[in-house]
Amino acid sequence: MSQKPTQPSKPSSDGKTLPAPSLKRNRVQWPVFLGSASLIVAIAVWAIVVPENADTVITRVVAWAAGTFGWYYILTAAVIVVFVLVIAFSSTGRIKLGPDHSRPRFGLFSWISMLFAAGIGIDLMFFAVAEPVAQYMGPPAGEAETIDAARQAIVWTLFHYGPVGWAMYALMGGAFAFFAYRRNMPLSIRSVLTPLFGKRVHGPIGHAADIFTILGSVFGLAVTLGIGVVQLTYGLHVLFGLPENAAVQIALVAFAVAVATISTVSGVEKGIRRLSELNVLIAIVLLVWITVFGETRRLLEGLVMNVGDFVSGFAGMLMDTYAWDQPDAWMQGWTLFFWTWWFAWAPFVGLFLARISRGRTLREFTIAVLAVPFAFIAIFVSLFGNAALEIVLGGDEAFADTAVNLPEHAFFSLLGEYPGAPLLMGIALISGILFYVTSADSGALVLANLTSKIEDSKQDAPKGLRIFWSVATGVLTLAMLLVGGVPTLQQATLILGLPLSILIYLVMISFYRALRTEAQHREGYAATVASRFGRGETSWKQRLRRSTVFPNRMQATDYLDKTAVPALEQVVEELREAGLRVSLERSDVPGAAMPPLLLTAEFENQPDFCYQIYPVNREMPAFAYYSPSKSDSYYRLEVFTVSGSHGYDVYGYTPEQIISDAIGHYESHLAYLRISENHSDASIGTDENLVIDWQDDFTEPTADKP
C-alpha cells in the first residue's frame, strides 16, 4: 500500500507548520490528446472523403479479425466472467472501494437507479425488438422460423445484452474504484496498470493505454449514437413526416452535440442523473402498456420461460464457438460484435460506476452490477421481444422483413400495432432523445477526463476539452454513417476489439496483483494482533472514566498536545536511532475538525509505515444523556493507517498505551513487508503523496429522495 494519509501542508524542521500548497490545476495530457484526436480525425476524414475505400478496407479487416480471433474473443469474455465472480465471492469481496471506515455516498435506491442509467440506452430499444426477430429468421444453428427458434431468439438477445457485458463493466469499474479510493490514485487507466508497470505508466506505456481506451470509448459511443440517429430519424418520420435522409441525421447529431456541449460545460451532473432516472420510468410505462394491451398471459409466461432457458443454458452459450457449424457471418454480426462493443464501452461505463460506488464492498458492487441492470433488461427484452415474435408468428411477413432489413424501424413499427400508437410512439421518441443526449453528454465528459491529468477524482477536465470531444464524437458518428450506416460502426468496433482485449487482460493481471498485496497487508496485520495493543488499564477507575467521557474540541486538542505528541516523539527518537527516516507531523486538513497527528517511517523501495491519530466529530450518543457536556457532538481520536480507520478511540490512553499501540502497528507493517518481500506489485512506493480528506468518508449517504 503505497499511499499515505498525508496532509496538504508539512511542518518545518523547527516544528512550525508551513502554508498548505495550492491544489494543482487539471492539465491536458498532450501526448494522449494529440494522439487520440489525430487518429479519430484522420479516420473521420478518410470515411468522408473516400467512403468506398473506407468501406472496403473495414470489411476486409473485420472478416480477417473475426475469422482469426473469434475464438479468442469468446474465451476472453468467459475469463472475465469467471474473474469477477471469483473476486466477488472470495475473501477479496470484503474489501471496500475506499478506506475501511468509508460509507457509500448514495443511498441504496439512488445507487441502483444510477446503475440502470449507466449502461442502458437507446440501443436497448433498438435490439429488444430487432434481434429476437432476426434470430428467429436466421438462428446460428437449427431450423429457422420454428417454435424452438422463437424460444431461443429471446435467449440469444438476453445473452448478448446480459451478464457477460456487465461483468466487463464490473471489472473496469471495480478496478478504477479500488485504485482511486483505496490507494488514492487518479481515476484513470494508468492508475489501474501501476502494479504492472510502476512509474513507466507515466510514459509511452501509459499514453498507449489511454489512447486505446479513448479510441474504444469513442467508437463504442459512436455505435450507440449511430443507432440512436437512425432510430430517431424514423420516429420523426412516422410522427411528423420528416424525411429519412442524411440532412435529418446531421440535424440530430448537431442537436445532440449542442445539448451535450451545454451540459458538459455547465457540469449539471444532477440534472443528467435525473433525466436518466426519468428514462427508466418511461421505459416502465412502455412495458406496462405493451403487457396490458398485448397478450398478457403469453408475455408473462414467456418472461418466466426465457429467464429459465437463459439460466440453464448460459454456461454452454458462454463458450460456444460453433467449431463445426462455423456460422461466420452470424458470429461476426452478433456475438463477436457485442463482445467487442462491450470491450469498448467497459472503461467508459466503468469510470461512471466507480464514481458512484465509493464505500461499497467489492462483493456488493459486483453482485449489484451483474444482477440489477440485467433484471431490468431481461424484463424489457422478453416482453418487447415476445410481443414482436407474436406478430411475426401471426403471419405478418412485412413486419419480419422490416425488423431484419431495417432494424431501426422495428421498435416504432411494433408500437404502431398497439392502441394509442401516436401517444405511445411520442413517449418512446422523447425517451430516445433523452437517452441519446445523455449518452453524448456523459461521453464527452469521460473522454475529456481520459485526456486530462486529474489528481482529484472529484474534479473534471477543462471545459474546452469537453467541448472538443462532444464535437469530435458527433463528427465521427456522421462520418461512419455516411460510409455505410450502423453496420460500418459495428465493424469498426470489432476491429478495435483485439487491442482492447489485451488491455483488459492487463487490467485483470494488475488488479489481481493489487488485491494480493492487499491480502498480504491484512495477513501482516493479523500476524501481530496478539501483541499490537497495550490496552491494559492502570486501574479500574481509569477504565471506567474512558467509557463515560465524551470529549469536546478543547479536551481532544489538549490530549493530543500533552499526551499523544510526547508519547509518539519517543517512538520517533527510537526509530531514528535505528537508522530510519521518521517524521511526526501536525498540520491542517480541509474538512478536518482539528489538525490530525501523523507518524511516518520511510522504507527504501518499500511502502512507508503510517500511524495517524485523526479527530472525528460525532453526534453525541443517546446513552450519553448524563454527560456534563452541553454540546451536541464530541470527538473520537481514531487510529488510521493506509487502509483507513481501525475503528477504535485512543482518547484517554496513557502515554505507554499510545506507544504500545503505535509499535504494534509498526510490527504489523514489518510482518507485511516480510510476507510480501518478493511482491510483484510495481505500484508500491511509486505514486506521489496525495491529500486525503477523511471527512468525506464520515458523511451519511445521500438520502433517497425523489
pLDDT in tens, 387-435: 999 999 999 999 999 999 999 999 999 999 999 999 999 999 988 888 7
Q: Choose the final residue of a domain: 520, 547, 567.
A: 520
The residue among 355, 328, 535 whose CA lies nearest residue 458 is 355
Structure confidence by residue, pLDDT tens digits, 185-194: 888 899 999 9
Q: Are 539 and 659 members of one domain?
A: yes
3-class secondary-structure state, position 96: strand
Same domain, 508 and 554: no
Both 550 and 455 in a single domain? Answer: no
Pair 587, 509 in one domain = no
Is the same domain home to 481 and 556? no
Between CA 18 and CA 217 the distance in angstroms is 43
Closest CA to 444 of 414, 409, 474, 412: 474
Domain presence at residue 9: no
Residue 180 CA neighbour count, 13 Å, CB half: 26
Average pLDDT, integer, range 623-630 = 58
- Residue 307 backbone class (left: φ over 0; alpha: ψ -120 to 50; beta: rest): alpha
Most confident residue range from 16-30, 362-376, 576-590: 362-376
- The answer to whether residue 344 sits within a structural domain is no
CATH of the domain at 204: 1.20.1740
509 and 548 fall within a common domain: no
Final residue before a domain boundary, out of 494, 520, 546: 520
pLDDT attached to residue 18? 33
For residue 1, the model assigns a pLDDT of 40
278 found inside a domain: yes
Do 507 and 438 lie in one domain? The reply is yes
Task: Indicate if 330 and 221 belong to the same structural domain.
Answer: yes
Q: CA nearest 294: which of 409, 420, 132, 427? A: 420
Q: Which of 490, 520, 550 is the last residue of a domain?
A: 520
> pLDDT class for 59, splitting at 50, 70, 90?
confident
Over range 2-22, report the average pLDDT.
38
CB-CB neighbours of 705 under 10 Å:
7
Tracing cell 462493443 back to the chain, one arrives at 341
Q: What is the mean pLDDT of residues 551-558?
A: 90
Cell numbers at residue 641, please?
493507517
Higher-pLDDT residue of 584 and 542 is: 584
Give the span between the Cα atoms of 268 and 273, in whole angstroms. Answer: 9
Please check whether residue 461 is in contact with residue 452, taking contact to mean a CB–CB distance below 8 angstroms.
yes
Cβ distance 189 to 502 under 8 Å?
no
Is the domain of 506 the same as that of 539? no
Do 167 and 194 fall into the same domain? yes
Q: Is residue 360 part of a domain?
A: no
One DSSP character per residue, 582-650 reads: EEEEE---TT-SS--EEEEEE-TTSPPEEEEEEEEEEEPPGGGTT-S---SEEEEEEEEETTEEEEEE-
- Interval 249-254 mean pLDDT: 90
Are 214 and 202 within 8 A, CB to CB? no
Amino acid 486 reads: V
Q: pLDDT of 270-324, one tens digit each?
A: 555 666 667 778 888 999 999 999 999 999 999 999 999 999 999 999 999 999 9
Pull the grid cell for residue 610. 503510517
Same domain? For 42 and 118 the reply is yes
Counting the structural domains of the chain, the total is: 2
Percent of the chain with pLDDT over 90: 45
Q: Taking Cα atoms as reference points, which of 601, 639, 615, 597 lies closest to residue 17?
A: 597
Which three three-digit cell numbers place residue 300?
A: 408473462
- Does residue 515 sit within a domain? yes
Q: Kindly compute the dihedral angle of the four CA atoms of residues 517, 522, 526, 529, in this order, to the nearest 10 degrees.
A: 120
Look at residue 7 and tell me whether its pLDDT is greater than 50. no
pLDDT for residue 373 is more than 50: yes
pLDDT confidence of residue 679: 56
Per the CB < 8 A criterion, the answer to whether 664 and 531 are in contact is yes
Classify residue 322 by burial, with Cβ atoms within 10 Å: 0-12, 13-18, 19+.
middle
Cβ contacts of residue 334 below 8 Å, gap of 6+? 131, 135, 140, 156, 160
Say whether pLDDT at 209 is over 90. Answer: yes
Residues written for the chain:
706
* Residue 287 covered by a domain: yes
pLDDT at position 461 is: 79
* 426 assigned to some structural domain: yes
User: What's the mean per-residue pLDDT of the chain?
Assistant: 84
Res. 9 pLDDT band, cuts 50 70 90: very low
Angle separating helix axes 463-484 and 486-527, nearest 10 degrees: 140
- At residue 682, the pLDDT reads 63
Give 706's pLDDT tier (boundaries 50, 70, 90). very low
pLDDT band at 166 (very low <50, low <70, confident <90, very high): very high
Whole domain around residue 489: which residue ranges? 27-315+325-337+377-520
Q: Using 50, 70 and 90 to split pLDDT, how confident is the model at 157?
A: very high
Report pLDDT for 121.
72
Q: What is the DSSP string of 441-460?
A: HHHHHHHHHHTEE-SSTT--
Dihedral sign, CA of 45, 51, 57, 59?
positive
Residue 350 lies in a domain: no
Instruction: Say how far residue 671 (Cα) sits from the centre of its chain.
Output: 33
List, edge to edge, every strand of the sheet that includes 633-641.
581-586, 597-602, 609-619, 633-641, 644-649
Q: Which of 118, 147, 1 is nearest to 435 (CA)?
A: 118
Kindly state whether residues 480 and 569 are assigned to the same domain.
no
